[in-house]
Amino acid sequence: MYSAAVLDHFKNPRNTGDLPDATAAVDVTNPVCGDTLRLAVRVDDGKISAVRFKAQGCVTALASASALTELVAGKSLDEAWSVTAAQISNALGGLPQATFHGAQLASDALVALFAKLS
């Protein structure tokens, strides 16, 4: 049911935990299923120098958060801002519609984070 990429990110999540010296952090929730995601970044010289997440929820929510951190780490703010739910899904081998909400939650966190950074 899950792609190898989804299972890898779920079993071996990247960039988990707190980021005490974060430039900004946000908490988002999917009100339908109850998945939650905390996303934090440190920005230095216009680039994301560190990113961490904490999540509770389904397999794809955790995998999507992990994939998002890999997609934005080291990127300029402009590059990171352009990451979409579809790109997160593609990084995980393409999520089916039934589980796409995991990628959407990660994307929502990124949007909220950029609203806070502005």
Supply the pLDDT for residue 116.
94
Supply the pLDDT for residue 49.
98
Distance from C-alpha of 114 to C-alpha of 98, rounded to nearest angstrom: 27
Percent of the chain with pLDDT over 70: 100
- Whether 32 shows a pLDDT value over 90: the answer reads no
Distances, alpha carbon 102 to alpha carbons 45, 61, 66, 79, 117, in Å? 30, 4, 11, 21, 23
Q: How confident is the model at residue 60 (pLDDT cuts 50, 70, 90)?
A: very high
Tell me yes or no: is domain 4-117 CATH 3.90.1010.10: yes
pTM above 0.85, yes or no: yes
- Whether 62 shows a pLDDT value over 90: the answer reads yes
